[in-house]
Structure 1
Amino acid sequence: MTNIRVLIADDQVMVRQGFTVLLDAEPGIEVVGQAVDGADAVAKAAELRPDVVLMDIRMPGLGGIEATRRLTEPPASPDADVRVLILTTFDLDEYVYEALRAGASGFLLKDASAAELAHAVRVVATGDALLAPAVTRRLITEFARLTRVPRAPLKDRVGGLTERETEVLSLIAQGLSNAEIAGRLVVAEQTVKTHVGRILTKLALRDRTQAAVFAYESGLVRPAGR
């Protein structure tokens, strides 16, 4: 099995070096480079082809949000598929919402432990589950509160899903894992994985985090109290 290749983008040298030491000590993970700002991250991602970019939001010059947008746009090369994991100091930083909309696959607090950091990288690399479900549920719910009116084009795209796929999408948006969805629907976990794959394909989404954001923005799922 090949290592997960990671690029760390942060304007603070101690953060870059600290995360590099932690990740390089993890089996199956390799830090292939460091970037000092968003522009540097975009350039080095093109050169080094990492699987995951750990991206700070607030950096001089090109910030993390715009860098994320540039990295996650449809690639010129079909084999270029980098995922972005946002680094933030606050779990409800307003900029994180924009980062998710820009194409980030998840986020991580900078005070995360080595185990949490490694887990986050592995989760984002596979796109297999929402990152840090308990925190991500709060994040996406708060993000959805900022979207007062469902976007019509997105509502139209939901119509292309089957009834069961729509049900699975709504559960993804609630932060449930494949195993939890399988238990809720009383089906095999592999069946859920198949549904998730079809949902991502039909909606042209990158991963589960983007699917959850889509569910809220389209109005399929409403935050509690709305």
Structure 2
Amino acid sequence: MAVPGDQIRVALIDDQQLVRAGFRMVIDSQPDMSVVIEASDGDQGVREIARVGCDIVLMDVQMPRLNGIDATRRLTDMGDTPKVVVLTTFDNDDYVMNAISAGASGFLLKDADPEQLLAAIRTVHRGDAVMAPKATQKLLRHVGPLLRDGSDPGKKRPSLPAELTPREVEILTAMGRGLSNSEIAETFFVSEATVKTHVGRVLAKTQSRDRVQAVILAFQIGLVRPEDLLRGV
């Protein structure tokens, strides 16, 4: 099947055929995206992505031969690679944290409804937000305590980059709370274009690959706490 250049090219890597079939049906029903790769394990998926190429990868975690975390790490090591969205049930926080470390750009619940699936793919592809704020908040409610406690006692906790301006620190904090660009704009009474500029500078100065990495940093350095999200702050 030929894929027009303006379509989002998606790879599905999951060992459950029914999951892949369901996601493919939803994705291929859209005029702006198409599934170009299907694989039942990480090893096959990485090889096909290197051969065919794609924009977004929906990656399961637990698979035979090569799991999703190691497959994500291989893709990240390849350099100019597609963004990986990890498929998760949030039943194991270690999986989520390891996927973040491996280079995942987003997370999607396996039982997400079609609208959430499509919105997540488009959002990640745009690059202006990794996941919908509610999804980010749900992720951080699960892994926030791990971020603050630190799973590796020997690893130095990151600090707030001195290059950040006071406004950029405020923007990073708002990102950590799971606010969207439009919500941040309303909070600080600025335009959404201005927020995008601030977010870009925050990502550059914190050396974050994407919004998820910046949000994780906000938790690790204490700008945001899991209990803030639980209170809806």
Whether these two folds match at TM > 0.5 is: yes
Question: Which residue pairs with 1:30 in the alignment?
Answer: 34
Work out the CA distance in 2 between the residues paired with 1:40 and 1:216: 35
Q: CA RMSD in A?
A: 2.0
Q: 2:188 aligns with which of 161, 165, 185?
A: 185
Counting aligned pairs with the same residue, the percent is: 46
Tell me if the contact between 2:61 and 2:67 (Cα under 8 Å) persists in the aligned partners: yes
In the aligned structure 2, how far is the partner of 1:200 from the partner of 1:34? 32
8 Å contact kept, 1:130–1:177: no
Residue 26 (structure 1) shift: 0.9
Maintained 8 Å contact 2:41/2:63:
yes
Q: How does 1:104-123 map to 2 (within 5 A)?
A: 104-123=104-123
CA 1:155–1:127: 2 relative to 1, 3 Å? same
Query: Which amino acid in 2 is paired with 1:208?
Result: R
User: What amino acid sits opposite 1:85 in the alignment?
Assistant: V
Unaligned runs of 5+ in 2: 229-233
Distance 1:161 1:174 in 2: 18
Counterpart secondary structure, 2:158: helix
* Displacement after TM superposition at 1:203 (Å): 2.0
Runs in 1 of length 4+ with deviation above 6 angstroms? none
Contact 1:92–1:139 (Cα < 8 Å) also in 2 = no
> Could you tell me which of 3, 6, 31 is aligned with 1:2?
6
Alignment coverage as a number of residue pairs: 219
**Structure 1 length-normalised TM:** 0.88
Query: Contact 1:56–1:64 at 8 Å: present in 2 too?
Result: yes
TM-superposition CA deviations, 1:66-97 (whole Å, max 9, x none): 1112222360xxxx231011112x24532123
1:147-170 alpha-carbon deviations (Å, 9 max, x no partner) = 3159646205x2221111111011
Map of 1:42-191 to 2, 5 A cutoff? 42-73=46-77, 75=79, 80-88=80-88, 90-91=89-90, 93-94=92-93, 95-147=95-147, 148-149=149-150, 152=156, 154-155=158-159, 158-191=161-194
Q: Which moved more, 1:114-123 or 1:50-59?
A: 114-123
Q: 1:67 to 1:97 in 2, by over 3 A?
A: same
Distance 1:108 1:71 in 2: 19
Q: Which has the higher contact order (CA 8 A, sep 6+)?
A: 1
Query: How far off its partner does 1:109 sit?
Result: 1.6
Q: CA deviation at 1:185?
A: 1.0
